Structures are given as C-alpha cells and as structure tokens.
Structure 1
Amino acid sequence: MCGITAYIGNKEAYPILIKGLQRLEYRGYDSAGVVMIENDCFNLYKKAGKVKVLQDFAESNNVLGNIGIGHTRWATHGVPNDTNAHPHVSNSGRFALVHNGIIENYASLKEQLKQRGYTFKSDTDTEVLVNLIEEIFVKEEIALEDAVRIALNEVIGAYAIVVLDNQDTDTLIAARKGSPLVVGVGKDEFFVASDASPIIEFTKNVIYLDDQEYVIMRRNGDIMVKTLGNIEKTPFIEELEMSLEAIEKGGFDHFMLKEIYEQPKVLEDAVRGRMSAEDGWIKLGGVSEYINKINSAKRFIITACGTSYHAGLLGEYLIEELSRVPVEVEYASEFRYRNPIISENDIVIAISQSGETADTLAAIEIAKERQALIYGICNVIGSSIARATHAGSYTHAGPEIGVASTKAFSTQVVILTLLALQIAEHKGTITTSYLRQVLFELKNIPNKIKETLKLDAQIQEIAEVFKDATNFLYLGRGVNYPVALEGALKLKEISYIHAEGYPAAEMKHGPIALIDEQMPVVVLATNDSAHEKIVSNIMEVKARSGKVIAIVNEGDTEIAALADYTIAIPQTEEILSPLLTVVPLQLLSYHIALMRGTNVDQPRNLAKSVTVE
C-alpha cells in the first residue's frame, strides 16, 4: 500500500527520490520521507501529509547525497504523523529502512528488543525491523546483507524493504515478500521502487524480485540476487513496455478523467490479436494451452476484491450464459479465511488490476494447494499474480494512476467476455452466427464509448443538481446489477457520499424504505430482456417521490418520459452493455466529487494497491 523509492549511483539522489514519490503517491499519502547519506551521516526528512509538504520542508535543508531511500505511507501501525513517517533509523543511528507491508509478530519482537535495551520513538512495526537488523548485525558480527537475511527469516508477515548503512555508501540492500519491488538497472547506478513508474524516466531495464528474495546493489554496478535461504540466483533483466507519457496527465485535470477517456483506446488494445470479428475466431493465449482442462471444468470460481470483484460478478453472468458452466464469485478477503471446497476439476479465476492484491494472492495459494487450475487476469506485467498463476491474460489497460479504478474495470470485463466466448465456442454452446454477431459488436464498442463520452456536459449538469445529496441508490438487473455496484462504489470512493447498489427487483425487500424526495436513484435501464420490469421499478420509485436518473438506450422514449433525468447511450448487445453503462456512472462520480472539492485522484483513506491484509 505504501510507495518505496531508492537510488544509488553518481547522481544526486534527492531529486530522483522526490519525483519517484510523487509518482508513487497514489499508493499512499498519509506521510512521506527521504534520507540521503553525505559524509557518513544521514540527511533525514519526513513529514505528515502529502509529498508536497515533505518537499517544501526538505528543500530548505541539506539534501545532498548520491545514495538514498524514500517512502510515501498509507498508515497501518501508528497514526499519520512526523514520528511514524518513514524512513526509520536504528537506535545507533547507523541504519535506515523503508518498508511496505505488515510485520505481524512485531509486538513480540519489540518486547525482546526492549529487554535488550532498545528504545522506540514510533508506533510502527518498521522501527522494530530496523532495530532487529541492527541487533543481529552487532551481536553476530556479520555483514549487513546477512543480518538482513537472518532478520527477515525471523519476521512473520509481508514486506518490501530497502536498507541503508551510513558507514557503507557504496551498497544498497532491498528485499521482498508479499509486497512488490522492482529494481531498475542503469549504467553504474540502480533504482528501486514499488512499481516501475519512478524508474521509467531513467532506464527501461528492470529486475522484478520474486517473493523471499533480496538484492545487494553496489555503486560499481555489481548486483547480486539471493533467496532468504542464501542461494544466489541469476538476475533476469526485462525491458519495460511502459512509456513516460502513460504516467502523465496528458492535458487532463486529473488522472481519473484521463483514464475514463482512455477507455476506447485500451479496449482496442485489450482485444488486439485476440479476436477477429471478420473471421469469427477468439484466441486468448492463456486459455489455448489449457483448453481441454477448461472445457472439462465442473465449475469456475472467480475471486477478487473491490472493483475487480464487480468485474468478476459480470464474469459470472457471461460464463454461465454463454458457456453453461456454474460459476461462483468470492471476495478474496473472505475466501482465504474459510475452508472453501475446491477440487482439481475447478478453474479459479483471480482478478486484480495491480496483480499484487494480498488477499487475492492468498486465495491463489489456497486454490493451488488443492490442485485447481489458476487463471489470472491482471494489468501489471511481471506482477506477483501473473507469476503465481498457471495461465492468464493481461488486460493491457496501461498504468492506472487514479485510485478509483475506471479503465481497469472495462478491460477486465472485456477479457472475461472473450474468455466466456472462447469457452462457449469450444464447448459448442454458442452458434457461429451469434459468436460473429457479438464479436462485431465488441469491435464497435470503442466507438460507442466515444459517443457516450460526448454526453459529459449533460452528465455534468446532472451532477450539479445532486452534488449535495447525502445518499444515492443504484439499481440494475442482470448484467447491469454489477454495474450498479460499481457505480455506487465510485461515488463512495471519491465524493464520500453514501451510496448502495442493488438488484432492481430487491428494492422492494428493504431499500424502498429509504426512498423520498431527497433520494436520487440511478436506474440502469438498457436491458431489453427486462424492460417492462425496469419500467415498474421506476414507477415504484416515482410513487414515493424519488428522483430518477435513468441510463437508457437511444430511442427509449418510454423510460425517458418517466425519469427525471435521462442519459441516452448507444445500443449494443445486452451482454456487452456494461461496457457502455459504466461510463456515465464514472463521469457522474467524477463531476460530483469535483464539485464537492474532494481529491479525485487521491481520495482519503484509500490506496491504489492493497498489498496488506
């Protein structure tokens, strides 16, 4: 959840660290800090608040040094303040450390260290870890890399760490377990970060550390990767596909708005080379190798969190409707803590934008132990989920910087659609003519999203009317029920308005009690298969003075006559309609949040990638 950056080389470290933290701020923004080494001393600065607060404070002080580490924090242990901010320094003042993750046994370790005379200034588990490393270093009289390895074998939990020794300015040590860490390889210089965004400006050559690995980087360009079992590994250097432009706002006021408008392009990227509407074929690379096992599967289990869970619910509709195989959808955070029934005849689909979601990774390990085939859907190349699964597909959404997910959701739905269609084709549960019909319509979806985006001004006017609402209700049927959940989540995340999504037919089983003249009700009304039922739902809301905002197909005059506000979008195949209906909900949430003065890209208490439990 936190963001880590580090540098060793011949350049000044501070500008690299600060720029890196700015690019990682979407991972956490409760506090931030940096430390550089100059003349065997730490230049340490850390402040509660965003990176800009740290920058204003640090730049009036000495920020010299060509080795350093930085951190932007999402608080787990200890409130956000200057003291709890990272980096943390050992009692002797020799070692400094930044950490992303949670050390579960920190309390017992802290008590042991207290008994040995150590004192603690912060409430963090990180300060315990840096002092544990120092205790082992001093007591065992061993090299720092060995002290780090031994300490990490004693801790329980997840971590990505970088360690500095102010008596050795030629060495930087980093390690990971359960939290991501990337090493950028330059000419006689190294960069370390939680993801590639701080690195891409300086080098495209990277090493993705695996779980329970650590790396020793030296100023002369030497690098060594080892396991926590002290086994040396050959570093595998990959080339980043990311561009610097992809992580800039590109003229938009916010990353979220940019990412909403990128959806036509990224959906084209998601299907490129994977389907041909003209020739009527689909080929997801991750599916073909295991197609026989997938075809014979008795059940699919989809596990995910947050927005990815909503995409998974859509996957349930798609796979069951097209492939006629039972599907269960589970919150990964619940799945991992019960005793799920999984067999070798099951296919488990794990969905995560970052590919680093802690609960989803834990769910994968449970499913692996029970011999299920694991299929991953994620966005970040080289991520933990991509490496932990048997097969999978990248969504090719590109970097998503806004904390509230938009384009990642759409691309996940596209991959699930292609997956359902490919399975259906192989099982013979779909006709060739219908397959071609859906593929042609899927090919046209990017253009229809472009048409939907032209409604932005109209949606902005509706946002102005409802910006001061205290509650919202979202209703959808069939494939639009998960979209109702997603629309409600977007509004909650960035505007802090309480919102709930429900199946439209469930309104009468409780939520209808909430409806009065102050209650905006967003109705997703594009389902031709349930049009009459949706009309009845709207009339029930209107009978109780609720305000109806209806998302309808172009030309639907019946619902337009009933609703207070209507957003008419291009018509498409019903199973593909979520790719269009979600766009007005994203824009509505964005404009309401903007009008309420919230931080759209970095909403309070949230972080982009949940890498801790």
Structure 2
Amino acid sequence: MCGIVGRVGDDEAVERVVAGLENLEYRGYDSAGLALQNGAGLEVRKSTGKVQELKDQLTVESADGNVGIGHTRWSTHGAPTEENAHPHTNETGDIAVVHNGIVENHSSLRRRLEREGVEFTSDTDTEVIPHLVDHYYDGVDPKWAFTRAVRELEGSYAVAAMFDGEDAVFAARQGSPLVLGIDEDQYFLASDVSAFLEYTDEVVYLEDGDVATVRPEIVTVTTVEGRPVDRSVESVDWNPEEVNKGAYDHYMLKEIESQPYSLTNSIESHLTDAGDAIDVDVFDPATIAGFEEVQFVACGTSYHAGLYAANVLNEAGIRARAFRASEYQVAADPVSEETLVVAVTQSGETADTLGAMRTASSAGAHVLTVTNVAGSTAVRTADESLFIHAGPEIGVAATKTFSSQAVTLSLLAQHLAEYMESGTPHPELDAVLDGVRSLPGDLQRVVDSESASMLANYYLDSDAFFFIGRGLGYSVAQEAALKFKEITYEHAEGFASGELKHGPLAMVTPRTPVFAIFTGSHDEKTLMNAKEAQTRGADVVAVAPDGHPAIDETDAHLPLPETHPMWAGLLANVQLQLLSYHAANELGRSIDKPRNLAKSVTVE
C-alpha cells in the first residue's frame, strides 16, 4: 500500500523523485520522505502528512543529488509520525532504505540487533532492514550486504536501499510490486508504472526473489543467491495524460467522467471487430466444457463486480458464487479440477486476492485473473489472464475500473455459458450486445446530467443513506454504499431490497433517504420494498429511466437512459458515484485520498 520510487541518472533526481511520489500518493499519504546521494553523504528529508508537506520543506531547504529514493506511507507498524516515516537509516546515516509490505519476523530481528547494541528510533518493522544491512556491510560490497540482509526477511516486501558513496539503488521484491522504468539516460524504480509514465513507457516487471542493481549506466538483475536472470522489457499502453488531473479538482471526478472512454476500450477488447459477437480468449472450449462451477474471489469494489458476474452466471444456469478474498482461505466452498476460480483485482497486487488464488491453485482449480495491470503478480500467478483495459486509476475510490470489470466479467459469463454443460446462452444475446455497444454513449448522458449534484445537496444533512436493489441491482447497491462511505465518511448501507423488512427497517427514519435501483428486472418487488421504507417516513429516490412507473410513487428521481436490464445497473452505478462525489465535495472531504484508506492493498 505504501509507494516506493527511485531514480538513477547523471543529473538532478529530486524533482523526479518528488513527482513520482505525487503520482503514487494514492498508495499512502500518512507521511513522505526521500533520500539523495550527492557525493557528500546521504541527504534524508521526511515529513508527516501528504507529499505537499515534503515539497514545502524542500522549498525552504533544498536538497540535491543524482540518485534518489522516495516513499509515501500508509501506516501499518507505528503511528504516522516523522520518526516512523521512510526512508529509515542505520545509526551512522550512510545506508537508507524504503520499504513496502510487512517484515513478519521484524520482532526477532529487532531483538537480535538490540542485543548487538543497535538503538532504534522508530516503531516500524522497516527499520530493522538498514540496521541488518549495516550488520553485513564491510564498506566494500554493498550489493552483497543488501542481498544477505534480504535473505533474512520473512513476509512480503518491496525494498530499495542506497549507500553513501555509491551511485546506485539496490532493490528486491517478494510478494509486493516493484517495476523498473527504462529511459534513454535514466532509470526509474517504483511500486507502479504511474510513478514515471511521463518519462518512459518501457518497463521491466521484477519477479519474486529478484534483486536489482540500478546504476546510471546499467541495470542488472539476479536472484537472491546471485544467479543472473533475464527479465524482458515491455511497453505500457497507458496514456501519460491519464495520471494527471488536468483541469479537474479531483481525480475521482475525472475518472467518473472518463468512463465512456475507458469502457469503450474494455468493450472493444472483448468483442469481435464487427461488434456482433463476444471475443474472450481465455481457456479453450474443451477446457471450459469441463468446468462445473465458477467462484469469484476479490476485495472491496472488485468483490462487487464479482457479485455482479456471479448473478449473470446464475441466470445462465451456471453455479457461481462470489467470495471475499480475505475469507476465502477459511470459508471457501470445496474446489476441484472442475472449478474455475476467477480472481478480480484492479492492481493485480491485492494480497488477500493473491492468497486466495494460491489456495485455489493448490486445491487443483483452474485460476483466471481479471485485472487492469499487465505484468502484475496476479497475472504471473494465474493460469490465464483477462485484462479490463481501463487505463490507470489514481483516485483511491474505484470508479471506472468497476464499470470495466463488470462489463468484462459479464461478457466472460456469456462466453462461459456457451461452452459449459450447465450453461444456457442468453436468449436475447443480440439485444445484450446492442446494449453493451450503446453503453459508452448512455454513460455519457449520465455524466452530463446534473441530478446527482442537486440530490446530494438536498439530502446532505441526512443521518444515514440506504441503497437497495435486486439481482444485478443488489451488487450495485452494495458498491454505491461502499463508495458513499469511503469518501463522505457518512453512514451508508447497501441491501438486497427484500432484506429491508428483515432488520434494516429498524434504522429507517425520515432522515434516512433510500435509493432504490430499478434495472428492469424484478422492479415490482423492489418498489414494494422501497414503499415499506416510505411508509416509515423515509424519502425514496428512484434510480430509474424516465417514464418508469416507480417515479410517480417515489419522492425523487435519478434518471437513467433506457437499456437492457443487464447493463442498467452500471448506469445506476455512475449516477450513484456522482452522488457520492458531490456529497463529499460539499462536506469538504479529502475525496482522492480518504482517511485511513489506500488504493492497492498489498498486505493481508
């Protein structure tokens, strides 16, 4: 969840390190820091708060150097204080380290080092690393000392280190992402390609167990045992402009409004050129025919996309269920060679999802990952990969990636239904495809409307916000509630509409608006459930197309374009994303960087 950046070249590094930290700030914003090699020692600067605080410090007291590492932190061990901010150093300050992940054996390493007389200055697990490196460093061979120390670390980590007098960054990964960027006259190192995308789109994805030595003139990669390895250079097809806010006040609004474009990429990637058939190239038909059930594993927003897809498969006659990845290892259904496990992860680095994938693989299941990031750990772990092609997403609250995940998974579901023995292809497949081709234009109409802004203001002083739906609308209701609570910090809940009377109605008051999602399927029952809340004094907002019967019987309306029921929930989702955004904006919340949250959760 923390963000690591490094830059090695012949000219000044500080501006590019800071720019990389700003690009990675969605991964953590409790504190930030950097270390620079300038020929006269290592300069280390740290601050609490956001990267801007570090920039302000550097404005007052500049720093320079041609080699640098930086870090933006999401706290796991130790409070968000300057002492706990990275980089951490050894006692003499000639070794600096930044780290993402968790050193699971840090307590035993710390006790051992303290017995040797080392004095620690922070509460972090990371601080054991520079002291351990120092323990092995003989002043001659920094790579050996770094590698020897890394071999003693247990857990998941991405770590980068600098040594005084060495124009180099030494880095290693095990379970946490780390990627190299290769430019003509400089190299970058980061947790995510968005850190340096404005400089280069040529990347090398490091793999678990890799140790990289990055110097101004060359990069070498070995195993921790010292054996050379060859990692291919790949080109990233993301547009650098997508990692900038441009004229927008927030990344979230930019990413909501970019969905017609990102969804076009997703749809075109999974339809034939003529757009009249699904083209999903995962597993051969004979393998698919052997699947008896499908399990989705994911976290947060990706889990809601998995719920959406499981519903689509159930309607096609296929046994499917979505699991929260954090619970999968202890509460999953049995799996076998006839089970397809679909791991949904935007970043491809979500620790809980990766753990679920490994559990499924070890039990003999086929594993497919649906992700946004080529070269990610999920891609290397899965048997097959399917990409959503949504482009980089910087806002912590996922928006455009949910739409792309849900569409990609729904098209995948139709593909599976064609070949699985229990599956029945959709009886209105032509209408489904017509609807998905129209989806980007329909989304643009939603984005252009102002209804969500007006309703957000009207209901701003409410005590709680309920979202309800049936079938595909239920997963959208859960996602809408998650988005609302993530960025407004207000009480929000998503329910299957029929469950209101089984408990949640006790929470309904005249200050509890209920947003009812009408997808064109089971709408009569959804309306009946909504009216149960209405009779208790709650306002009901119909999220529905113009002319829908529910509009005359509810208190307010969020309009949707007419579309096929399979896609109506996604249009509702964008209206509700806008509702959350405008409410949070009126409340003055930190929309792109909500408190206590980070985007890519790489620890369990």
- TM class, shorter-length: over 0.9
Structure 1 equivalent of residue 452 of structure 2:
459
Q: CA deviation at 1:339?
A: 6.8
Decide whether the 8 Å contact of 2:38 with 2:65 is kept in 1.
yes
Structure 1 range deviating more: 344-353 or 147-156: 147-156
Q: Does 1:539 align with 2:531?
A: yes
Structure 2 residue aligned with 1:411, among 390, 404, 412?
404
Aligned equivalents of 2:426, 2:579: Cα separation in 1: 38
Structure 2 residue aligned with 1:209, among 203, 206, 209?
206
In structure 2, give the amino acid aligned to 1:263. Q
Query: Which deviations, in whole Å up to 9, do the C-alpha atoms of 1:70-103 show, x marking residues without a partner?
Result: 1100001110011100000011222000001111
Query: Which deviations, in whole Å up to 9, do the C-alpha atoms of 1:509-556 show, x marking residues without a partner?
Result: 0000111111111111233x3222122112211110011111012211
Decide whether the 8 Å contact of 2:546 with 2:560 is kept in 1.
yes
Structure 2 equivalent of residue 389 of structure 1:
382
Instruction: Give the 3-state SS of the residue equivalent to 1:65 in structure 2.
Output: coil
Q: Does 1:271 align with 2:264?
A: no
Q: CA deviation at 1:432?
A: 7.8
Structure 2 equivalent of residue 292 of structure 1:
286
Decide whether the 8 Å contact of 2:177 with 2:192 is kept in 1.
yes
Q: CA deviation at 1:588?
A: 0.2
Q: Does 1:309 align with 2:303?
A: yes
Structure 1 residue aligned with 2:430, among 433, 436, 448?
436
In structure 1, give the amino acid aligned to 2:259. Q
Q: Does 1:589 align with 2:583?
A: no
Q: CA deviation at 1:337?
A: 4.0
Structure 2 equivalent of residue 68 of structure 1:
68
Instruction: Give the 3-state SS of the residue equivalent to 1:59 in structure 2.
Output: helix
Query: CA RMSD of the aligned region, Å?
Result: 1.6
Structure 2 equivalent of residue 198 of structure 1:
195
Q: Does 1:127 align with 2:132?
A: no
In structure 2, give the amino acid aligned to 1:10. D
Aligned equivalents of 1:531, 1:191: Cα separation in 2: 53
- The 5 Å alignment of 1:151-190 reads 151-168=149-166, 170-190=167-187
Instruction: Give the 3-state SS of the residue equivalent to 1:377 in structure 2.
Output: strand
Instruction: Give the 3-state SS of the residue equivalent to 2:110 in structure 1.
Output: helix
Structure 2 equivalent of residue 262 of structure 1:
258
Q: Does 1:609 align with 2:600?
A: yes
Structure 2 equivalent of residue 247 of structure 1:
243
Structure 1 range deviating more: 124-133 or 114-123: 124-133
Decide whether the 8 Å contact of 1:278 with 1:440 is kept in 2.
no
Aligned equivalents of 1:432, 1:49: Cα separation in 2: 51
Structure 2 residue aligned with 1:525, among 518, 521, 524?
518
Aligned equivalents of 1:595, 1:62: Cα separation in 2: 37
Decide whether the 8 Å contact of 1:43 with 1:62 is kept in 2.
no
In structure 2, give the amino acid aligned to 1:388. T
Aligned equivalents of 2:273, 2:200: Cα separation in 1: 38
Structure 1 equivalent of residue 466 of structure 2:
473
Aligned equivalents of 1:179, 1:100: Cα separation in 2: 7
Q: CA deviation at 1:279?
A: 6.8
Long gaps (5+) in structure 1? none
Aligned equivalents of 1:496, 1:470: Cα separation in 2: 12
Query: Which deviations, in whole Å up to 9, do the C-alpha atoms of 1:290-324 show, x marking residues without a partner?
Result: 332222211111000000000000111111212x2
Structure 2 residue aligned with 1:423, among 387, 398, 416?
416
Structure 1 equivalent of residue 476 of structure 2:
483
Aligned equivalents of 1:577, 1:427: Cα separation in 2: 26
Aligned equivalents of 1:277, 1:573: Cα separation in 2: 22
Instruction: Give the 3-state SS of the residue equivalent to 2:356 in structure 1.
Output: helix
Aligned equivalents of 1:87, 1:44: Cα separation in 2: 7
Gap change, CA 1:18 and 1:363, over 3 Å in 2: same
Structure 1 equivalent of residue 542 of structure 2:
550
TM-score, structure 2 as length reference: 0.97
Structure 2 equivalent of residue 447 of structure 1:
441
Aligned equivalents of 2:568, 2:144: Cα separation in 1: 56
Instruction: Give the 3-state SS of the residue equivalent to 2:238 in structure 1.
Output: coil
Structure 2 equivalent of residue 319 of structure 1:
313
Aligned equivalents of 2:351, 2:314: Cα separation in 1: 28
Aligned equivalents of 1:290, 1:210: Cα separation in 2: 28
Decide whether the 8 Å contact of 1:471 with 1:497 is kept in 2.
yes
Instruction: Give the 3-state SS of the residue equivalent to 1:33 in structure 2.
Output: strand
Instruction: Give the 3-state SS of the residue equivalent to 1:175 in structure 2.
Output: strand
In structure 2, give the amino acid aligned to 1:348. V
Query: Which deviations, in whole Å up to 9, do the C-alpha atoms of 1:376-423 show, x marking residues without a partner?
Result: 100112111122111121101001011100010000011111111112
Structure 1 equivalent of residue 21 of structure 2:
21
Structure 1 residue aligned with 2:146, among 115, 129, 148?
148
Q: CA deviation at 1:451?
A: 1.6
Q: CA deviation at 1:147?
A: 2.0
Decide whether the 8 Å contact of 2:519 with 2:569 is kept in 1.
no
Q: CA deviation at 1:136?
A: 2.1
Aligned equivalents of 2:417, 2:244: Cα separation in 1: 40
- The 5 Å alignment of 1:33-72 reads 33-72=33-72
Aligned equivalents of 1:255, 1:73: Cα separation in 2: 20
Structure 1 range deviating more: 505-514 or 194-203: 194-203
Q: CA deviation at 1:156?
A: 1.1
Structure 1 equivalent of residue 495 of structure 2:
502
Instruction: Give the 3-state SS of the residue equivalent to 1:164 in structure 2.
Output: strand
Aligned equivalents of 1:242, 1:55: Cα separation in 2: 27
Instruction: Give the 3-state SS of the residue equivalent to 1:154 in structure 2.
Output: coil
Structure 1 range deviating more: 299-308 or 150-159: 150-159
TM-score, structure 1 as length reference: 0.96
In structure 2, give the amino acid aligned to 1:202. Y
Identity across the alignment (%): 40
Query: Which deviations, in whole Å up to 9, do the C-alpha atoms of 1:91-117 show, x marking residues without a partner?
Result: 122200000111111011100000001
Aligned residues: 603
Instruction: Give the 3-state SS of the residue equivalent to 2:574 in structure 1.
Output: helix
Aligned equivalents of 1:421, 1:338: Cα separation in 2: 28
Gap change, CA 1:340 and 1:562, over 3 Å in 2: closer
In structure 2, give the amino acid aligned to 1:150. R
In structure 1, give the amino acid aligned to 2:112. Q
Structure 1 equivalent of residue 563 of structure 2:
572
Q: CA deviation at 1:50?
A: 0.5
Query: Which deviations, in whole Å up to 9, do the C-alpha atoms of 1:258-277 show, x marking residues without a partner?
Result: 11111111111112142249
Q: CA deviation at 1:278?
A: 5.8
Q: Does 1:82 align with 2:82?
A: yes
Q: CA deviation at 1:176?
A: 0.8
Instruction: Give the 3-state SS of the residue equivalent to 2:358 in structure 1.
Output: helix
Aligned equivalents of 1:538, 1:479: Cα separation in 2: 17
Instruction: Give the 3-state SS of the residue equivalent to 1:351 in structure 2.
Output: strand
Decide whether the 8 Å contact of 1:12 with 1:66 is kept in 2.
yes
Decide whether the 8 Å contact of 1:4 with 1:100 is kept in 2.
yes
Aligned equivalents of 1:477, 1:167: Cα separation in 2: 64
Aligned equivalents of 2:173, 2:238: Cα separation in 1: 22
